[in-house]
Amino acid sequence: MTDLLPFIEGLPKAELHVHHVGSASPRIVSELAARHPDSRVPVDPGELAEFFSFTDFAHFIEIYLSVVDLVRTPDDVRLLTFEVARDMARQNIRYAELTVTPFSSTRRGIPEQGFMEAIEDARKAAEAELGVILRWCFDIPGEAGLDAAEETARLAVDLRPEGLVSFGLGGPEVGVPRPQFKPYFDRAIAAGLRSVPHAGETTGPGTIWDALNDLRAERIGHGTSAPQDPELLAHLAERRIPLEVCPTSNVATRAVAALDEHPLREMVAAGVLVTVNSDDPPMFGTDLNNEYAVAARLLDLDERGVAALAGNAVEASFLDPAGKARITGEIDAYTEQWLAK
C-alpha cells in the first residue's frame, strides 16, 4: 500500500469537530505558561511533552483544565485562537468550525465583550494572513449544569459574534441526559444557529436519538455507538445527517478499544455521510493529517477516496455555497494534479 501521508498533507481540508482550548499545542501552551509564571504548567518544551502524555480520561480532563487556567485575559484568547489557526494553516486546513466554550472563560472573569472581540479579531486575522476561514460553535459544557447552558445560550444569542454558526453540547454523556438541554437548543435554533451536539461517544445509540429528537441535531459529534442500532444508521444515511468521527480521540478516551476496532467501516458501509476530525489534537498526540491517514487505512482508501472524504467535510460544513464550491474546487484540482505526476 502506498504511503498516503504526503498526499494528505498537501490536500486542502475542512475540519468540523475540533475544540478551541483542546487545540493548544505545546508551542502555544508554552507561550501562555510563560505569560503566567504562577501556573503549574511547565514552559520548557521537553517537560511539556511529558505533561501532555496523559494516562486516562480523568488525567486528560486535569490537563485540559490546567490549560483552560492559562487563558485569563482577552489577549490570551486572541493569542490562542490565532496560533491554533496557524497550526491549521500548516496542515492545509482551509476551513474550520472551532468549538469554543465561552462559559469556561466568562466564569473565570474574562469580560464577555472582550472575549467576543478577541475571537473575532483572531478570526479576521487568520483569514487575512493565513488563509484559514474560522467559524464558531459555542458549546455547553454538559458537566457544568443548566446554569452553564443558560449562560451559553445567552452569550450565543445576545452577543452573537459574526463568525458564530452553531450551538453544541460537550462534556461527559454518562449522567448528563441530552433532553434537559432542549430549551437552550430551541433558543439557539430560533436565532438561526445550527444544532451540533456531541452524542453517542461514551453512551449508546439512545443518546444519539435524543440528540436528533430533542436537540434537533443537524450533525452528530462522534456518534461512535450509532452502528449498534441499524435503524439509527439507516435514519442517519437517509436524512444525510453527518457524523463527526474522531478516531484517535475515541481510542485515547477508551470509547473504542483500538483503532482497528473503530466502527468507521460500518458507518461508511451503511451510507452515512462521515467526516474525519481531530477533536483535541495535541492532547491526543494527533493532528488532522494523521486522522485522515488512519481513516484511509481503516477504509482502505486511495487518493481519490481520501479526496472524497475531504469533500464530505466541506459538504457537511455550514460554509456558504460559494465557499464550499471554492474549497471543493481546490480539492479536485490538487488531486488531479497529484495523480497526473
Q: Residue 118 belongs to what H/E stretch?
A: helix 112-125
Dihedral over alpha carbons 123, 71, 19, 181 (to 10 degrees): -110
Which range binds Zn ion by CB under 5 A, 133-141, 171-179, 274-282, 311-319?
274-282
Q: Which long-range contacts (CB under 8 A, 24 or more apart) does 282-286 make?
A: 282/22, 282/23, 282/24, 282/25, 282/26, 282/29, 282/52, 283/22, 283/52, 283/54, 283/60, 283/63, 283/64, 283/252, 284/248, 284/249, 284/252, 285/52, 285/53, 285/248, 285/252, 286/248, 286/249
- Whole-number Å distance between alpha carbons of 24 and 17: 15
91 grid coordinates: 496542515
> Which CB sits closer to Zn ion, 173 or 279?
279
Smallest distance from Zn ion to CB 222, Å: 7
- Which CB atom, from 4 or from 137, has the smaller least distance to Zn ion? 137
Please, what is the minimum distance in Å from the beta carbon of residue 163 to Zn ion? 19
d(CA 125, CA 341): 35
Which range, of 24-32, 126-134, 231-239, 273-281, touches Zn ion by CB under 5 A?
273-281
Q: Which of 120, 201, 218, 303 is catalytic?
A: 201
| 20/280 Cα distance (integer angstroms) | 8
CA distance 268 to 265: 5
Minimum distance from residue 221 beta carbon to Zn ion (Å): 5
Q: In what order do the strands lie in the sheet with 198-199?
A: 198-199, 220-222, 243-245, 274-276
- Stretch of residues binding Zn ion (CB under 5 A), selected from 35-43, 85-93, 175-183, 277-285: 277-285
Q: With CB under 5 A as the contact rule, which of the stretches 125-133, 182-190, 276-284, 299-307 interacts with Zn ion?
A: 276-284
Q: Which is nearer to Zn ion, 33 or 212 (CB)?
A: 212
CB of 236: closest distance to Zn ion in angstroms?
18
Q: How far is the CB of 18 from Zn ion (least distance, A)?
A: 8
Considering only residues 307-336, where is the footprint of Zn ion by CB under 5 A? none
Shortest gap between Cβ of 246 and Zn ion (angstroms)?
Answer: 7
| Total site size for Zn ion, rule CB under 5 A | 1
C-beta closer to Zn ion: residue 83 or 279: 279
CA angle 245, 261, 14 (to 5 degrees): 20
- 14 vs 33, beta carbon nearer Zn ion: 14
Whether residue 238 lies in the annotated active site: no
Q: Which is nearer to Zn ion, 74 or 178 (by Cβ)?
A: 178
321 CB neighbour count, 10 Å cutoff? 7
- 93-100 and 13-19 strand pairing: parallel
- Supply the minimum distance, in Å, between the C-beta of residue 71 and Zn ion: 18
Closest chain position to Zn ion (CB) = 279
Contact 277, 245 (CB under 8 A): yes
Range in contact with Zn ion (rule: CB under 5 A) among 58-66, 70-78, 181-189, 279-287: 279-287
> Which residue, 255 or 296, has its beta carbon nearer to Zn ion?
255
β pairing state of 93-100 and 133-141: parallel
Which residues form the interface with Zn ion (CB under 5 A)? 279
The residues that are catalytic are: 201
